[in-house]
Structure 1
Amino acid sequence: MKFDARVDFTNGGYVEAKDFLLDIEGDNISPERLAEIIVSAMNLLRAGPVTITAMRIVRRGEHHDLTPHPIQD
């Protein structure tokens, strides 16, 4: 699954994801379930509203994120 989303926090601030790649089971998922998975997988405490602005199923090998990127200090 590739998606764009914004998670607002109940204590202020937010995080945004653009073209974020997340492994899911199956071929279909609701935006509500995706929001639950995002909050749980990222262990986002004090998460408030989650807004999903784009989502699409991407099968393994259909994306270009397979090349590891070096970590820079």
Structure 2
Amino acid sequence: MAFDEVVAALDVHLDRSLAGVIVGEPELLERTAFTQPALFAIEVALSSVVPLRGDPGLSGGSFGG
């Protein structure tokens, strides 16, 4: 799943576009409501690229607080 697809799926749960926050309002990434979805979108997008490189060792996590 590409980054744009993940962002589109997440946007229905947010009060503004996640891509718009990442590009145009990065200060909002300090809010967990945007940080967690942004990290998830990036992790999913990266996981779709890594197998093409043949690197099965990538794993991710999330910090909660």
TM-score normalised by L of structure 1: 0.27
Structure having greater relative contact order (Cα 8 Å, sep ≥ 6):
1
